[in-house]
A and B are shown apart, each in its own frame.
Chain A
Amino acid sequence: MTWTWFHRLGSPPYIYRLAGRLTPWFGWCAAILLVAALYDGLFVAPPDYQQGDGVRIMYVHVPCAWMSLMVYTTMAVAAATGLIWRIKVAHAVAASCAPIGATFTAVALITGSLWGKPMWGTYWVWDPRLTSELLLLFLYLGYMGLRSAFDDLQRADRASAVLAIVGVVNVPIVHFSVLWWNSLHQAPSVMHFGKPTMELSMLIPLLTALLGFTLYFAAVLLVRVRAEVLRRERAASWISEVVRP
């Protein structure tokens, strides 16, 4: 097995150009899937026998919650890659993940709370799922705060990478909290072993939204990574080729 692909992925000009080429593909596929999921979720999927039309909040809440965990995991893996192999591009990826993850974690919390009010009778409870998701938001904010506290980029990369890696223990805690502890929050009905415990008519818009949001994340991440790479590679000669006026 050759490792050339791995080394190429660590090369800033290669990543810059590759990201630029891939962004529209991810972006347009995401746009199509998200519009389809929106239509399916609002018009086609049936109302729930208990929650009525309120169940449609699921089609935005679950994808946002999925983003919060998936983006954090990506960030931690990128940070670890940067730390272990000393790859600058990996640190650029990790740094680019944080603001995206933080927004969707906040939206997952707020949409969850808007769903909780009519179904549970309260906007907020200090429930294990809700509390660990709130902690996830603080991890993102802490990561971003820590990065901005350093003037030296390399030190910011290394210190924030350690935080990202340590914080990744919270990801399985968020996911399994509803099984490990008594929780008001319902148990997973898609991401668990065995068959999903959901009607196909509801599962399809949900899975479409999950895939759409994942591709959307890829597109936004790639744009941010390009910006981050440009900012970091101040002296490199290849930059004059890609930003020629």
Chain B
Amino acid sequence: MSHFLAMGGYARYLWPSYGLTLLAVVLNIVWARRLLARAKRDARHRIEMQAGRQ
């Protein structure tokens, strides 16, 4: 296991690369989903406001 983690001496370059890529992958999913959730909430809110006015 420690042999694997050492990555032939490249661990300090390799694992940050993988970690950062994973972070970018996860963050883009979170940001996109949050954006959609907010857009839906705003749209719902607008519809309720319009219904309230009528």
| Residues in A lying within 8 Å of B, measured CB to CB | 34, 47, 52-54, 56-57, 60-61, 63-64, 99-100, 103-104, 106-107, 110-111, 114-115, 117-118, 216, 220, 223-224, 226-228, 230-231, 234, 239-240, 243, 245
Cross-chain contact B46 with A234 (CB below 8 angstroms): yes
| Residues in B lying within 8 Å of A, measured CB to CB | 7-10, 13-14, 16-18, 20-21, 24-25, 27-29, 31-33, 35-36, 38-40, 42-44, 46-47
The smallest C-beta distance from B29 to any residue of chain A, in angstroms, reads 6
Assuming the contacts A103-B24, A230-B39, asked whether A114 and B31 have C-beta atoms less than 8 A apart, the reply is: no
Cross-chain contact B13 with A117 (CB below 8 angstroms): yes
Given A63-B21, A111-B20, output 18 extra A-B contacts at Cβ < 8 Å: A47-B8, A52-B10, A54-B10, A56-B7, A56-B14, A60-B18, A60-B21, A64-B21, A99-B28, A103-B24, A103-B28, A104-B24, A107-B21, A216-B25, A227-B39, A230-B40, A243-B44, A245-B44
Give 5 CB contacts A-B under 8 Å.
Answer: A53-B7, A61-B17, A107-B24, A224-B35, A230-B43
Question: Chain A: interface secondary structure?
Answer: helix
| Nearest opposing residue in chain B for A103, CB measure | B24
The smallest C-beta distance from A235 to any residue of chain B, in angstroms, reads 9
Residues of B near A100 (CB, < 8 A) are: 28
Cross-chain contact A54 with B8 (CB below 8 angstroms): yes
Cross-chain contact A107 with B20 (CB below 8 angstroms): yes
Cross-chain contact A220 with B29 (CB below 8 angstroms): yes
Cross-chain contact A243 with B40 (CB below 8 angstroms): yes
| Nearest opposing residue in chain B for A118, CB measure | B13
Residues of B near A104 (CB, < 8 A) are: 24
Cross-chain contact A52 with B8 (CB below 8 angstroms): yes
